[in-house]
Amino acid sequence: MTNKIIGLVVIILLGVLSLGQVGKTDKKDITAYIVKVVRDVNMKSPTKGWQKAIPLSTLKSGYEVKTEKGSLAMISFADQSKLILREKSIVTIKGEVKGKEILSRNVHMDRGNMIFNVKKAESEQFKFSSPISVASIRGTLGNYVSGGVLDSLTIADGLADFLNSISGKKGTVGAGQTGVADSSGNFKIGKANRNILNNIRQSQNLGGLGSGADDNGVDFGHLKSRQTGSVRVDLSAFQGKAIAASLLYRVEGEHMFNELPLTVTGQTATGKIPSNKVKYPKLEYYLSVKLNNGSTVLIPENGPTDPASVSVEATRRELRIPGQTGSLQKKVVVIRWNE
């Protein structure tokens, strides 16, 4: 009997350990992409030295990005949060995901100037840090600057928690405010400079992202259910290396993707989506881009299993049924629905 009990305990312990191991293997490094490069931008992985960054370079946890004088880099994450690194900036990307859930995300800045547009999440906070401060961001547009002895956090839209990690002093920075933390432990929050706020908002138009294209460079214009749709893809991020492109798309909820070969002209690819394939409420999609070196790139990287999506406006239908009441008065029953 004792041996049976000991055996049962061993089996239970092995089961618990195996479940813990499965939980660990489910976690993966977070992925981001450099979607725009201006002049001299370099990147470094934990196992390789510095090398030149190009558009669509993939970043994983532990990767560093550095911009030289007069340079700029735009980084995009799967939830379409984006960062714009100004000149003379150096940051390290860190984070983990489990399936589609983002477990943690941190961008550590040794020095530099970064404008951010973080999409709102249910639980996870996007953290920015430096040797002096930590900013916890959720659904926020703003600017984070680290100069070595003084950090500043300016918020254009939303809220963010800001901490001086040297003294432990902290506060909440709201829209139109700037928080300042320095290496002596000082901390204060005040009214933001109007020029800085304007610069944050104007920066959102970099790369044409404010023109209706999403962070993947895809612009569907205005899609309406049961009407032919148009798609336009900006291929300039490939610096002329894209020679063919296809849009893989499906109505939300369907299993199979439809393939639409796009017409490539210069640095733009265009196509028409048949009206019977455009349906309310959303289209899910990903891009397949063939480069002149023979390789093929998928955007987003996990497109077949985790596609991007775009909203489709419903077509309003109306059915009018004539009739009459018991007193022989005319009456019309109107039924309306979306499709």
**Polymer length in residues for the chain:** 339
For residue 139, the model assigns a pLDDT of: 80
| Residue 247, number of CB atoms within 10 A of its CB | 22
Integer CA distances (angstroms), 96 to 89, 134, 140, 272, 287, in order: 23, 18, 21, 37, 24
DSSP state of 148: S
Integer CA distances (angstroms), 286 to 119, 216, 227, 230, 279, in order: 20, 9, 21, 15, 17
Whether 211-314 and 27-206 are alike in CATH topology: the answer is: no
Residue 7, C-beta contacts closer than 8 angstroms, at least 6 positions apart? none
Mean pLDDT calculated for residue range 163-178: 94
Q: Which neighbouring-strand residues pair with 10?
A: none
**173 near 162, Cβ under 8 Å?**
yes
**331 near 323, Cβ under 8 Å?**
yes
For residue 122, the model assigns a pLDDT of: 67
Mean pLDDT calculated for residue range 159-181: 94
Only one residue has tokens 């210069």, namely 266
In single-letter form, the type of residue at position 216 comes to: N
Q: Is 328 exposed, middle or buried (0-12, 13-18, 19+ CB in 10 A)?
A: exposed
pLDDT tens digits, 115-159: 999 887 766 678 999 999 999 988 889 999 998 788 999 999 999
Residue 46 structure tokens: 């934990």
For residue 23, the model assigns a pLDDT of: 47
Residue 219, C-beta contacts closer than 8 angstroms, at least 6 positions apart? 211, 212, 213, 231, 232, 233, 234
Domain locations in the chain? 27-206, 211-314
The answer as to CATH 2.60.40.10 being correct for domain 211-314 is yes
Question: Across the chain, what does the average pLDDT equal?
Answer: 82
For residue 205, the model assigns a pLDDT of: 54
pLDDT tens digits, 228-272: 999 988 776 665 578 899 999 999 889 999 999 999 988 789 999
Query: Quick one: CA torsion of 63, 209, 126, 179, rounded to 10 degrees?
Result: 110
For residue 22, the model assigns a pLDDT of: 44
The answer as to CATH 2.20.28.270 being correct for domain 27-206 is no
